[in-house]
C-alpha cells in the first residue's frame, strides 16, 4: 500500500526503472532498506520476484549504477520457488507502491497532478519574501512549482534538480512558454553547483529534512548576506498541528495556512547573515580562544570566568527555576544551570553553537536567531525567573540595547532579574581609556556598555566590576 497514493501502481511496470537516475537506483538497490511489506516478505525477496521477468532492467541497472551489482547478484542467486505470473505481478505492484515517490519523478505530468502541487497558489511563496528583480535559486525544483512562480517577477531564476526527467520537463516548458530568465541545472541540496554568496533568495519545498544542518548550511553558502532561505511547501491534505521544530530551532520564522486539499501547511523563511557564518566557523574554538584571552588578563575577555561565575552564583542563590540565556554560545554558563536543575531557554546567533550547546543540554529549548531582529517568537510565550546575557549584547548599538532591555523586562516573573555579563565600563572616560590602550585590538563594530549612561534610562541598574574591561550589570523591574 502506498503512503501518499500518488500513483495506481497496477498501471506501471518495472520498466520505469529505465527512467531512474543513478542516485535513485543507488538508493533503491541495496539490501539495507527500512521498507517492509505488510505480508512480512523481505525486501530482498520481493525485489527478486519483481525483477525476475525483467532481465533487461537488471542489466540496465548494472551499467547505470555499478554500486547496485552486489545487490543484484544476491537477488539473482536467491533460490526462489516457482512463481506464477500473478505472484510476480503482485511483487512488482508492491515494490512500485513502495517507490511511488521515485515513480512520479520519472513521469513529470503525473507529478504535476499530485496532492501538494495541483492546487497550490503562488501567493504563498510571494508572501514569504520579495523576489522582484532578484537572483533566485530553487533547490530540488521538481517540475518547477516554485521556480516558474518566481520567474514571473525575479531578474533570473536557476532551477537545481537532480532528476533528469524533471530537468527536461522544465526545459521543455521554458522553450514552449518562451521564458527568458530561467535556467535549469543538475544539483543536489547538500552539494549545489554554485559559488558562495550568489543568490538573493534560495527557495525549496519538501527538500530540507534529511540532514537539516548540511542542507541549510549549503543553502546559506550560496545565498548572499541579507538574502533569504525559503521553505515553501505544497498544499496537501495533511492537517499539521505545529511547525517543524527543527526549523524553528534554527531560526526560521513560519507562516501557516489551510489548503484547498483540506490540510494545514507551514512555510518557513530565514534571513541569512554571514556574520552568523563567521561565528559558526569560530564555534569549535570559541571556548579555548576566550579562555586564553582571559588567562592573559587582556582585552576583550579579561575577567570572563569571574563574570560567568558571578552570574551563576547570583542566579543560583536567587532560586531561579526558569532561565532565558541570550547569546548562550556553546553553553559554558548555561550547562551549569541546566545541571543545577533549571529549565533552560535560549537564543544564539550561531546555528553551530546552538548545536553544540544542545548536545550538552538535550532537554533545553534552544533557538537560533539574530537578537538585533528581536527574540524568537517561541521565547516570547514564556516568563523567566532570570534572563542572562553574557558577552552578547555588545553587538547591539546603545539605542538597540535600550530597546532590547525594555522588551525583556515584561518577560520577567514578579521577582525576576536580568543579569548582563559583558565588556563594560563604569563611564565613557574609562571606556575611551581602554580603547586608547588597546587601539590595535579594539573592535569598532562592537558597542560596549558605559554604565553611567545606561543608568539614566534604567535607574534600577546596578554595576559590579569583574576586571578592567568587564562587569556584571543587574536589572530588575521597578
Residue with cell 532492467: 57
Q: What average pLDDT score do residues 411-439 get? A: 95
Nine-digit cell string for 42: 523481505
From 41-50, 65-74, 151-160, 439-448, the region with the lowest mean pLDDT: 41-50
pLDDT bucket at 79, cuts 50 / 70 / 90: confident
Q: What is the pLDDT of residue 215?
A: 95
pLDDT bucket at 82, cuts 50 / 70 / 90: confident
Contacts of 321 (CB under 8 A, 6+ apart): 341, 342, 343, 385
User: Would you say residue 296 has pLDDT above 90?
Assistant: no
Residues 468-477 pLDDT 10s: 999 999 999 7
Mean pLDDT of the residues in the chain: 90
Residues 401-419 pLDDT 10s: 999 999 999 999 999 999 9
Q: What is the pLDDT of residue 52?
A: 94
pLDDT bucket at 294, cuts 50 / 70 / 90: very low
Higher-scoring residue by pLDDT: 160, 478: 160
Q: Which of 275, 273, 301 is closest to 287 using CA atoms?
A: 301
Say if residues 184 and 161 touch (Cβ distance below 8 Å): yes
User: Would you say residue 206 has pLDDT above 90?
Assistant: yes
Residues 168-178 pLDDT 10s: 999 999 999 99
Say if residues 231 and 267 touch (Cβ distance below 8 Å): yes
Q: What is the pLDDT of residue 278?
A: 46
Q: Which of 450, 435, 462 is closest to 398 using CA atoms?
A: 450
Say if residues 446 and 423 touch (Cβ distance below 8 Å): yes
Q: How far apart are the first and last CA of the chain?
A: 64
pLDDT bucket at 283, cuts 50 / 70 / 90: very low
Residues 331-361 pLDDT 10s: 889 999 999 999 999 999 888 788 888 988 9
User: Would you say residue 275 has pLDDT above 70?
Assistant: no
DSSP label at 244?
-
Residues 25-77 pLDDT 10s: 999 998 555 555 454 568 888 999 999 999 999 999 999 999 999 999 999 99
Give the H or E element holding residue 216.
helix 212-222
Q: Which of 195, 240, 235, 238 is closest to 218 using CA atoms?
A: 195
Q: Which of 356, 422, 435, 431 is closest to 392 using CA atoms?
A: 422
From 245-254, 312-321, 431-440, the region with the lowest mean pLDDT: 245-254
Q: What is the pLDDT of residue 292?
A: 53
Q: Enumerate the H helices of 108-154 as residue ranges.
A: 108-111, 115-118, 123-126, 145-151
Pairing state between β 449-450 and 365-368: unpaired
Q: What average pLDDT score do residues 203-210 get? A: 95
Say if residues 425 and 455 touch (Cβ distance below 8 Å): no
Count the neighbouring beta carbons within 10 Å of the beta carbon of residue 155: 13
Residue 345: cis peptide before it, omega within 30 degrees of 0 = no
Q: Which of 423, 332, 407 is closest to 371 using CA atoms?
A: 407
The structure's pTM equals 0.64
Residues 188-198 pLDDT 10s: 999 999 999 99
Nine-digit cell string for 160: 537545481
Q: What is the pLDDT of residue 287?
A: 52
Amino acid at each position: 500500500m502506498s503512503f501518499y497514493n500518488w500513483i495506481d501502481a497496477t498501471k506501471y511496470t518495472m520498466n520505469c526503472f529505465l527512467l531512474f537516475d543513478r542516485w535513485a537506483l543507488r538508493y533503491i538497490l541495496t539490501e539495507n532498506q527500512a521498507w517492509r511489506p505488510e505480508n512480512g516478505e523481505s525486501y530482498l525477496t520481493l525485489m527478486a520476484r519483481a525483477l525476475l521477468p525483467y532481465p533487461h532492467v537488471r542489466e540496465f541497472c548494472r551499467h547505470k549504477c555499478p554500486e547496485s551489482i552486489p545487490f543484484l547478484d544476491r537477488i539473482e542467486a536467491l533460490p526462489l520457488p516457482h512463481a506464477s505470473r500473478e505472484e510476480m505481478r503482485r511483487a512488482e505492484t508492491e515494490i512500485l507502491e513502495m517507490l511511488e515517490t521515485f515513480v512520479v519523478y520519472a513521469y513529470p505530468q503525473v507529478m504535476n497532478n499530485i496532492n501538494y502541487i495541483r492546487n497550490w497558489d503562488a501567493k504563498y511563496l510571494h508572501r514569504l519574501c520579495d523576489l522582484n528583480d532578484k537572483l533566485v535559486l530553487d533547490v530540488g525544483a521538481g517540475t518547477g512549482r516554485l521556480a516558474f512562480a518566481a520567474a514571473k517577477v525575479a531578474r533570473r531564476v536557476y532551477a537545481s534538480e537532480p532528476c533528469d526527467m524533471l530537468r527536461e520537463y522544465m526545459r521543455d516548458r521554458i522553450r514552449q512558454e518562451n521564458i527568458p530568465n530561467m535556467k535549469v541545472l543538475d544539483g543536489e541540496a547538500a552539494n549545489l553547483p554554485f559559488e558562495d554568496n550568489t543568490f538573493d533568495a534560495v527557495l525549496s519545498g519538501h527538500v530540507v529534512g534529511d540532514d537539516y544542518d548540511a542542507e541549510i548550511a549549503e543553502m546559506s553558502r550560496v545565498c548572499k548576506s541579507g538574502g533569504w532561505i525559503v521553505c515553501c511547501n505544497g498544499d496537501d491534505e495533511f492537517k499539521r498541528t505545529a511547525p517543524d521544530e527543527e526549523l524553528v530551532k534554527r531560526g526560521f520564522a513560519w507562516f501557516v495556512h489551510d489548503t484547498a486539499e483540506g490540510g494545514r501547511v507551514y512555510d518557513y523563511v530565514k534571513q541569512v547573515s554571514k556574520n552568523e557564518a563567521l561565528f559558526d566557523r569560530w564555534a569549535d574554538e570559541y571556548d579555548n580562544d576566550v579562555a586564553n584571552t582571559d588567562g592573559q588578563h587582556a582585552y576583550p575577555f579579561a575577567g570572563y570566568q569571574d563574570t560567568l561565575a558571578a552570574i551563576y552564583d547570583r542566579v543560583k542563590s536567587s532560586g531561579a527555576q526558569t532561565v532565558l540565556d541570550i547569546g548562550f554560545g556553546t553553553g559554558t554558563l548555561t550547562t551549569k544551570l541546566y545541571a543545577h536543575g533549571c529549565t533552560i531557554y535560549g537564543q544564539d546567533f550561531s546555528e553551530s553553537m546552538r548545536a553544540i550547546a544542545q548536545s550538552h543540554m538535550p532537554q533545553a529549548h534552544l533557538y537560533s536567531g539574530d537578537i538585533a531582529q528581536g527574540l524568537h517568537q517561541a521565547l516570547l510565550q514564556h516568563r523567566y525567573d532570570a534572563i542572562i546575557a553574557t558577552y552578547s549584547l555588545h553587538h547591539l548599538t546603545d539605542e538597540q540595547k535600550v530597546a532590547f532591555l525594555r522588551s525583556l523586562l515584561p518577560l520577567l516573573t514578579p521577582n525576576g532579574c536580568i543579569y548582563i555579563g559583558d565588556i563594560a565600563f563604569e563611564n565613557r572616560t574609562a571606556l575611551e581609556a581602554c580603547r586608547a590602550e588597546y587601539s590595535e585590538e579594539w573592535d569598532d563594530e562592537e558597542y560596549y556598555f558605559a554604565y553611567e549612561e545606561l543608568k539614566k534610562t534604567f535607574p534600577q541598574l546596578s554595576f559590579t566590576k569583574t576586571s578592567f574591561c568587564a562587569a556584571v550589570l543587574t536589572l530588575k523591574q521597578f
